[in-house]
Amino acid sequence: MRDTPYKQLEARFNRVSLISQARGFLHWDQSTMMPPGGAESRAEQLAALQAVEHGILTDPRTADLIAEAREGKADLDPWQQANLEEMTRLWTHASALDEKLVTQLSRAASECEMVWRKARPAGDFPMVLPRLRRLLELIRQAAEATGEHLGLDPYDALLDAYEPGVRTAGIDAVFADLEAFLPGFLAQVMERQKTAPAVVRPEGTFPAETQRALGLKLMETVGFDFDHGRLDISLHPFCGGTPDDVRITTRYNEADFTSSLIGVLHETGHALYDRGLPKMWRGQPVGDARGMAVHESQSLLIEMQVCRSRAFLEFAAPLMREAFGASGPAWEADNLYRLYTWVEPGLIRVNADEVTYPAHVILRYRLEKQLIEGGMEVGDLPEAWNEGMKALLGTVPTTDAGGCLQDIHWYDGAWGYFPTYTLGAIMAAQFFDAAKQADAAIGPGIAKGDFAPLMAWLRQNVHGQGSRFPSGDLLVQATGRPLDAEVFKAHLSRRYLEGE
């Protein structure tokens, strides 16, 4: 008996998923283990796989099957209906671009990223500028083509690929609200810190292997499954792989273990989300993560909401002392809590505190919008970056390594991604607040290193829902309210003004 159109689509999209996973592992290898001499051939490999994936999506038969399946949509169960909607969305995006542009983009992103790996530590923006200029030209072409196909402005078309349904108008409103709130709040926090006990920074050399061992122990505590994942080193931390083989990376500074450790916990939040996606929908669009804002909410929930909390640091402090064979005031839980919640405008986004973090994202959002819309030439990026940092945070990088070269995103083709970080921070506050209200065991569990109650709530209300619902609907179902920055602001006030 011939499969229904819907079942034929499931087979096609399962193949697309497998090819995408293969691309992901090639990218992981490129970022962690590949020798520099492999860059050119790797770019060709990734472009070829991207073309195969795109070819399946844009095959005329795929369009026919989607039309036929939609006619019989009433016969599908709710998960299948949601899966068909996700299939349609992916097909619509893919259909906007021709194969030549897709392969050019993939190749240009790989080539630009490999040059960035040399340019960043050298603080040499001119080194990567020609590659970035070419990549941005292609990104603009793709944004315009997709926007025309979807009836969206170019930047909204890019954003829609990372966070479906979210538009710049909504982001602008949220960011304007935060920008009005944060300067005054930051001043209050800085004033309060003047009368607080001084933070004592742990001193010494912290070998990378010891940092790694501590990171592994805390990853396991939070719930990372090492039968289905691993931790490695890369120039820029990330999480990738598949739900059954999650790869996360970090980077180590032997003079300061705190940034790497919290970075590992951030990426662990991503990994836990991937591992918790609905198993019965592996390989189908509805079984994928629900947009990057939700993904970032899960990493920021673990890193910011939980692992910078007083309860968690009281649990973790003895483990830190044991790992490094240390003792003294710097290693007491109260001091470590002050250290991990110390607010100070800085240059590096991934090391930023909760209060100043949104400013880093707002800057990147504004710059990439200008670059996509043609309001700025890419060669002017370093100067514009420095001016923006001075205006938003009162600090200016001395080299581009601490400025416009610090993040990998633009150099590997991820444009329209940055707003999801702050949207994710707001969602994280809502999810964690709702979880604690739903289960009184969550807070005491974290204080004992028992994350089972929290993970049970997240598995049921976030992870296990995959892409069944739009992000806004998922948030309302889990928390009882739409995106609400007031919950995030209340969290900041409790932690940084009331000393929660």
- The active-site residue, picked from 163, 267, 296, 303, is 267
- pLDDT score for 500: 74
Q: Which two tokens stand for residue 179?
A: 């920008």
The neighbour count for residue 37, using CB atoms within 10 Å, is 8
Helix (H) or strand (E) holding 246: strand 245-250
Across the chain, what does the average pLDDT equal? Answer: 96
pLDDT, residue 423, reads 97
How far out from the chain centre does Cα 402 lie? Answer: 20
- Check: CB of residue 249 under 8 Å from CB of residue 233: yes
- Residue type for 270, please? H
β-pairing, 239-242 vs 245-250, is antiparallel
Helix (H) / strand (E) containing 84: helix 78-95
Both tokens of residue 75? Answer: 């016969």
**How far is residue 418 from each of residues 84, 88, 244, measured CA to CA in Å?**
28, 25, 27
**CB neighbour list of residue 246: distance below 8 Å, 6 or more residues apart:** 224, 228, 229, 230, 239, 240, 271, 274, 275
Query: Is 318 buried (19+), middle (13-18) or exposed (0-12) by CB count in 10 A?
Result: exposed
For 456, the token pair is 């049970």
Written as one string, the DSSP assignment of 262-276 is: HHHHHHHHHHHHHHH
Q: Per-domain residue ranges for the chain? A: 5-148, 169-496
Tell me the pLDDT tens digit for each residue of 117-158: 999 999 999 999 999 999 999 999 999 999 999 999 999 999
Side chain identity at 86, as an amino acid letter? E
pLDDT tens track for 372-403 = 999 999 999 999 999 999 999 999 999 999 99
State whether residue 234 is helix, strand or coil: coil
Q: pLDDT category, 61, cuts 50, 70, 90?
A: very high
Q: In the block, which residue shows the tokens 């009368």? A: 195
Q: What is the model's pLDDT at position 383?
A: 97
Place of tokens 């083709």: 413
Condensed to tens digits (0 to 9), the pLDDT of residues 287-310 reads 999 999 999 999 999 999 999 999
What is the per-residue pLDDT for 20? 96
Q: What percent of the chain has pLDDT over 70?
A: 100
pLDDT confidence of residue 235 = 87
| Helix (H), strand (E) at residue 240 | strand 239-242
Contact indicator for 397, 143 with CB cutoff of 8 Å: no
What fold is seen in the domain 169-496? Answer: Neurolysin; domain 3 (1.10.1370)
DSSP state of 378: G
The three-state secondary structure class of 231 is strand
Positive or negative, the CA dihedral 20, 150, 426, 476 is negative
In the numeric block, the tokens 């947009």 are attached to 291
Residues 462-468 have a mean pLDDT of 98
Smallest CA-to-CA distance from 271 within 294, 304, 295, 306 is with 295
Residue 1 has pLDDT above 70, yes or no: no
What pLDDT, on a 0 to 100 scale, did the predictor assign at position 499? 77
Question: How do residues 322-335 score in pLDDT, each as one tens digit?
Answer: 999 999 999 999 99
Looking at residue 429, its amino acid is: A
The predicted pLDDT at position 54 comes to 97
| Percent of the chain predicted with pLDDT > 90 | 97
Q: What is the pLDDT of residue 410?
A: 97
267: annotated active-site residue: yes
**Which helix (H) or strand (E) segment is 229 a member of?**
strand 229-233
pLDDT digits (tens, 9 = 90+) for 101-119: 999 999 999 999 999 999 9
Give pLDDT, residue 102.
96
Helix, coil or strand: residue 218:
helix
